[in-house]
Structure 1
Amino acid sequence: MSPTQLPDHGAVLAEVREVRRAGIVRLRELRLPVLTGMSASPGEGSPGEPRFPAVERLLRTAVAAIGGGTLQEAAEFSLGLAQGTRDWPPADRRRRAAQVYGVSVERFRKNQELMVLGQVAEQLVRLASGAPAQPPATSAAAPASDVGTAPADGSAPASALTSASAISEPSARPRPLAPSHHRIPVRAGGHGGHVTLHVHAVDLLRDIDVVVSPSNTHLALPEPYKSSVAASLRRAGAVRDPAGRLVEDRVRDELRAWSDRFAAPGLSVAPGTVAPTGAGALAWQGIRRIFHAAVAVPRPGTNDYDVQPADVTRAVTRVFALLAEENGRSADAGLPPLRSLCLPLLGAGRGGLTPAVSFAAVWAAVEAELARGGDWDLHFLVRRPERALLVAELLASTDGAPTEEPGP
C-alpha cells in the first residue's frame, strides 16, 4: 500500500473494535472495508481466496508484532486470538483480558481496553506503511510478518521451524528456568528477617501452617474448576476417591459451618473478617489451616467486586490475631504452634487493586506485626513472573512502607 493510501488510524481502530465485539468466528459476517483492503496487500492471501482468512492473518501478525508482555496477551484475549478463546463470548474475552492487568472488567473497559486495541491498530497501520514492525520478544530476528502467522495448510510457520531447529542444535543454549522460590531479606521497625516469595500455583505449596485465601463478604467459595486462589484451595482440599470422584468438599463444608455459626443468615460479614477452617486434603501437603479473608464486596448487578486497601490491611491484621489465638489453644492441647504463614496479593484479581497497591495494603499489617517483634515464617505467593519481580523489588526496599503505585 502506497503512503498516499495509508488507512486512517481511527478507521482501523473502529474496525478492530468491531472485531472485538463480534469475535474472530464471525469475521465472515462483518463489513470491514479497511482491514479487507489492507489484507489484500501482496503476500496476504491469494486471488479468489475469501478475504476473512486474510484479515485474520493480518490481525495475528499485528498482535504478534506488539512484542509480547501483558499488552500482547490482553490483545490476544480481547480479539479471541489466544489458544482456546476463538469462540468465547465477548464478555468472557473482556473479563480474561482484564485479569491480565489485574483490574476489574469495568475499569479495563474504560481504560486499558482502548489502549490495547489502539496498539493493535497502530501495528496494522505500520504494517500497511511497510515500516518494520516491532519484533516480538520470542524471536527478535524473525520478520514480523512471519511471527504468529500460520500457513493456509495448517503447518508451522517458517520462523517457528527455524526456532525449533535452532534449539535442537548443540550450539544453542536453552533459556534457564526461572526459580519458583526466592528468599528475600526484609526489615521492619528495627527487626530484620526473611520472606520467602513463591512464584507458582497455590496448590503447590508444601509444609506451610496457614494459607490465607481471599474471599468475598458472603464467604461464598468459587466453583472448584476456576483458577483463582480460593477455587484452587477448595479443589486441592477436597477428598476424592481413587478414580478422582468427589467424596467430601471439606473446605467448603467447614467454611459453611463457620458462616452458619457466626454470620447472620443471608447477610454478608464485615469487610476484613477472617474465617478459619481446616485444610482438608491439603493436610497431606503439610498445610494445617486456611484463613479465609473477606475483602471483596460484591458490586450489585454485576459480576465484579470492590476491594478497599484498608479492608485488606484489616484482614491481614486479623490473621495475625487469629494465629495468636489458635496458638494459645494449641499450647493448651499440647499441639505444635502455627509458625508459617503464606499471603497472596489480596484484592489484586477481580477486586481491581493493582499489585503494588495490594502489596502495600498487605505489607502495612505485616510490617506492624514484625515491628512488634512477631516471629513468623512469612511467605508471599504470586503466579506471574512480572508480579514476582514487583513484589521482590518492594520487599527489598522495606526500610519503610512500600510506596503505593497509582491506579490506572
Structure 2
Amino acid sequence: MSAPPCLPDYGSVLEEVRKVRRAGVVRLREIDTPELSRIARDHPAGEGEPSGGTVEGLLRAAVFGIGGGSLQTAAEYSLGLAQGTRDWPPADRRRRAAQVYGVSVERFRKHHELMVLGQIAEQVVGLAARPPADAFPDTVRLPAAHRDLRLALHGRTVAVTVHVHSVDLLRDVDVVVSPTNTYFALPAAYKSSVSATLRRAGARKDPAGGLVEDHVHDELRGWVARHGTPGRAALPGTVVATSAGALADQGVRRIYHVAVAVPRPETNDYDVQSADITRGVARVFALLAEESRTADPPLTSLCLPLLGAGRGGLPPLESFGALWAAVEAELARGADWDIHFVVRRHARADLIERLLAGLAERGNP
C-alpha cells in the first residue's frame, strides 16, 4: 500500500499562489512553483472537478472547491482563470477582482486579496491530503463521518467529536450553534448555509412536503420583535436561543444563533471578525450554563460549525482558532461539556484533528 501523502507547508503553498497571481496562468512555465507542481502530479481530479496533472488544473480544482459566490469569482479573476482573462496584466485582474467586492483596489490589495489567496492555498492543501493518483490499496476505506478524539488538556482527558456531514444530520446533541447576521435575518430555507439548513430541518411539513410551521424562523423573528430591534443591527457576538423545531425528533433540543456576520452596506457580502466569534462562543457557553440549570434533563452537549468560514470568508484555520479560544477557556475552568464540531468536508475535519493534536502536545510536553 502506498504511503500517505506528504502534506505541504501552507505558507509555501500560499507564497507560490501569490507568484501565480503576479504572473497569471499564461506565464506559469516562467515561474518556479515546486510545491504546486508536486501536488499537481499526484492530485486525482474528483468528480466534476477540472482535470488534474498540471499546476493550472490544480489551481482550477482549488478554486472550484471554494464553492461559488464572490470568493470564487474573485479568485478566478485574481489568477487569470476567468474566461478571457488569461493574458490580462496583474493590475487589471486585481481591479476586476476588487469590483466583485465593490471596494477600492487598494482596500482589496490590503484585505480581500489576502483572504482570497489564502482560501485558494487552503483548498490546495486539502487536495494534497487526498491519496496519490497511483495509490490503489487492496482494501479501500471510506473516511469516518464521526471522529471521536480524546485530548489531554489542563490535566484531564477531554472528549471531542468531529462530525463530517451536513448539520441537519446531527443526532442527540442538545445544542447546535448557528451563525447569523447582526439583524438575525435567516436566509431562505432552500439555500445551503448552516443557518438555512437548520431553518429547513427545523420546519414542520405536511406529507406532500408543504411548509406547515417555520419554527426556527418564527421564534427568531419573535425574539427580535420582543426586544425592539426590527430593522436595527444587534451587537456582533449577541446570542439568541430558539427551539430546534422538528429537529427535536433527532434529539436536538436547542439552536443558539450567534450574530457574527456584519452585512456590508449595498452589497451581498459580510464582514466577520475573529474577536466577535470568540466573544459570541463565550456567550454561548454562558447561555448554555444558564439554560442547563432549568432544563430537564440538563443540557450537556454542544455542537459548533466553523463560524464565518462560509460566506463570511474567514479561512477555516482562523475560524477554528477563534472558536477554540473560547472553548479552551471554558474547559480550563473545569467545565464538563460534551464538545462537538461539524464540517462538510473531510479536509476541514483533518485540519481540526491536526490542530487539536498539536494543542494537546503543546499542553502536555
Distance 1:289 1:258 in 2: 15
Q: 1:291 to 1:10 in 2, by over 3 A?
A: closer
> Deviation of residue 179 (structure 1)?
0.5
Q: Would you say 1:345 and 2:306 are equivalent positions?
A: yes
Match of 2:26 among 13, 23, 29: 13
Q: Would you say 1:258 and 2:271 are equivalent positions?
A: no
> Deviation of residue 189 (structure 1)?
3.1
Give the aligned length.
Answer: 286
1:51-88, CA deviations, whole angstroms, 9 ceiling, x for partnerless residues? xxxxxxxxx9984334799734344479xxx9xx9xxx
1:255-282, CA deviations, whole angstroms, 9 ceiling, x for partnerless residues? 1111111242310110000000000100
Q: Which residue of 1 aligns with 2:171?
A: 206
Distance 2:174 2:73 in 1: 37
Q: Would you say 1:383 and 2:362 are equivalent positions?
A: no
Q: Would you say 1:110 and 2:141 are equivalent positions?
A: no
Instruction: Specify the SS of the correspondent of 1:397.
Output: helix
Distance 1:318 1:213 in 2: 13
Instruction: Specify the SS of the correspondent of 1:192.
Output: strand
Q: Which residue of 1 aligns with 2:53?
A: 65
Distance 1:114 1:283 in 2: 38
Q: Which moved more, 1:274-283 or 1:222-231?
A: 222-231
Instruction: Specify the SS of the correspondent of 1:260.
Output: helix
Instruction: Specify the SS of the correspondent of 1:301.
Output: coil
> Deviation of residue 348 (structure 1)?
1.1
1:363 and 1:401 in contact (8 A); partners too:
no
Q: 1:113 to 1:359 in 2, by over 3 A?
A: closer
Distance 2:346 2:352 in 1: 10
Distance 1:392 1:381 in 2: 12
2:145 and 2:164 in contact (8 A); partners too:
yes
Instruction: Specify the SS of the correspondent of 1:291.
Output: strand
Q: Would you say 1:325 and 2:290 are equivalent positions?
A: yes
Q: Which residue of 2 aligns with 1:284?
A: 249
Q: Which residue of 1 aligns with 2:187?
A: 222
1:348 and 1:358 in contact (8 A); partners too:
yes
1:83-125, CA deviations, whole angstroms, 9 ceiling, x for partnerless residues? xx9xxxx969627979xxxxx9747973547997xxxxxxxxx
1:66 and 1:72 in contact (8 A); partners too:
no
1:199 and 1:382 in contact (8 A); partners too:
yes
**Letter matched to residue 110 of structure 1:** E
> Deviation of residue 300 (structure 1)?
1.3
Q: Which residue of 2 aligns with 1:307?
A: 272
**Letter matched to residue 310 of structure 1:** A
Gaps in structure 2 of 5+ consecutive residues: 1-21, 28-47, 78-97, 102-107, 121-129
Q: Which residue of 2 aligns with 1:94?
A: 73
* 1:124-143 to 2 correspondences below 5 Å: 139-140=133-134
1:234 and 1:251 in contact (8 A); partners too:
yes
1:194-241, CA deviations, whole angstroms, 9 ceiling, x for partnerless residues? 101111110110000000001110111111111111111011111001
1:255 and 1:277 in contact (8 A); partners too:
yes
RMSD: 3.8
Q: Please identify the structure whose Cα radius of gyration is greater.
A: 1
Distance 1:287 1:13 in 2: 51
Q: Which moved more, 1:186-195 or 1:232-241?
A: 186-195
Q: 1:274 to 1:109 in 2, by over 3 A?
A: closer
Q: 1:66 to 1:304 in 2, by over 3 A?
A: farther
2:204 and 2:215 in contact (8 A); partners too:
yes
TM-score by length of 2: 0.68
Distance 1:67 1:380 in 2: 33
Q: Which residue of 1 aligns with 2:148?
A: 183
Q: Which residue of 2 aligns with 1:361?
A: 322
TM-score by length of 1: 0.61
